[in-house]
Amino acid sequence: MRTKCSFLLFFIFILPLALAKLTPNFYSSSCPEAESIIFNVVQRRFNTDRSITGALLRMHFHDCFSGNVCDASILIDSTIRSQPEKDSGSNLTVRGYEIIDEIKNAVEQKCPSTVSCADIIALATRDAVALAGGLNYSLPTGRLDGLRSNADEVNLPGTSLSVPNVLQMFAEKGFNTTETVVILGAHTVGVVHCSFFQDRLADSDMDPAFAQELSKACEASSGSDDPMTNLDRGTPTSLDSQYYNQTLFKRGVLQIDQALALDASTHDIVAHFANDEDDFQLSFANVMVKLGSLQVLTDGQGEIRQNCRAFNRDNNANKPNRGRGLKRA
């Protein structure tokens, strides 16, 4: 089993190859208040809605995993000419767009056309993780926003896939088995619609008492045809390793969550993180940095949107973005 040291070595010697075009504190001269503005907005929202951590983690993952590019393409709204990633079936339940809008508006007032929406998603997610009890990891920035978004190009792992299929999908993106188990640990702060698991409440791999608890939770919810419940039933607003603990006792809500604890290729990894909170925290931070660096756009490959929901050309604001990362006059 990997140790904290081995994960740290992986982070130091392997990840810099992927991060060559990103830089820590990228906006220290061009917009020195950017990261504090982002944190303050996320903190205000977290104080009233702690489920925002799970929402931002999901948005960040869906943005980066689709098309293998972290370019804020998930934020683009529909037009009469196109159906963007946001319109795909896999993304219809993604939420948190309004907090990105709030952050973008605040940053634009301070530093116009300087901070990308892609960096805002990554930094806001980092801050939400820290507020929920995770590590406040250093995050290289300098991403540009993408120039395309297509619902037909979205290909995300489903909750009912087998472990081998999920591992294969993540391997194609450059993640090994341990890293895949770590990323799915984000479910410790997630919520899910009841329709995603109601068909497995009678499964033999779910604890009967837990199945009854979930059934009652769904029945008790009102005001929705498809109510939601927490994936982590013990500490749903804390980013911790309890997600792994509950799957060891057949209390995994989603099929893929429970399957990780039962499959021979992942069981020992799940058991390790269930018993080593510190290693999970370090591993999660490293994987989030890696996720946020998948084929990022830099060096004129994209733009800095004035409105995160629309390409600059659609805003009639297709102005050159000069001076990013440079000291403002």
8 A C-beta contact, residue 15 and residue 291: no
Name residue, tokens 């499959």: 263
Residue 84 φ then ψ, to 5°: -80, 180
- Please indicate if the annotation marks 188 as binding a ligand: yes
- Please indicate if the annotation marks 240 as binding a ligand: yes
- Please indicate if the annotation marks 63 as binding a ligand: yes
- Please indicate if the annotation marks 127 as binding a ligand: no
Helices then strands, each counted (H, E), the chain: 13, 2
- Please indicate if the annotation marks 73 as binding a ligand: yes
Helix/strand/coil percentages in the chain, nearest 5: 50, 5, 45
- Please indicate if the annotation marks 77 as binding a ligand: no
- Please indicate if the annotation marks 24 as binding a ligand: no
| CA–CA separation, 240 and 186 (whole Å) | 9
Both tokens of residue 237? Answer: 């607003």
Residue 23 φ then ψ, to 5°: -135, 130
**Of residues 114, 115, 110, 106, the one with CA closest to residue 43:** 106
**Of residues 288, 266, 190, the one with CA closest to residue 232:** 190
Residue 192 φ then ψ, to 5°: -145, 145
Q: Is 62 a catalytic residue?
A: yes
- Please indicate if the annotation marks 60 as binding a ligand: no
The sign of the CA dihedral 128, 91, 256, 177 is negative
CA angle 302, 305, 309 (to 5 degrees): 115
Per the document, the length of the chain is: 329
| CA–CA separation, 23 and 156 (whole Å) | 28
| CA–CA separation, 152 and 283 (whole Å) | 32
Q: Could you give the residue ranges of the DSSP H alpha helices within the chain?
A: 4-13, 15-18, 34-48, 52-65, 97-110, 117-131, 163-171, 177-184, 208-220, 242-248, 255-262, 267-275, 277-291
Q: Which of 60, 62, 193, 272 is catalytic?
A: 62
- Binding-site positions for heme b read 187
| Residue positions annotated with a catalytic role | 62
In the annotated binding site for substrate, the residues are: 157
Binding-site residues sit at: 63, 71, 73, 85, 157, 187-188, 232, 235, 240
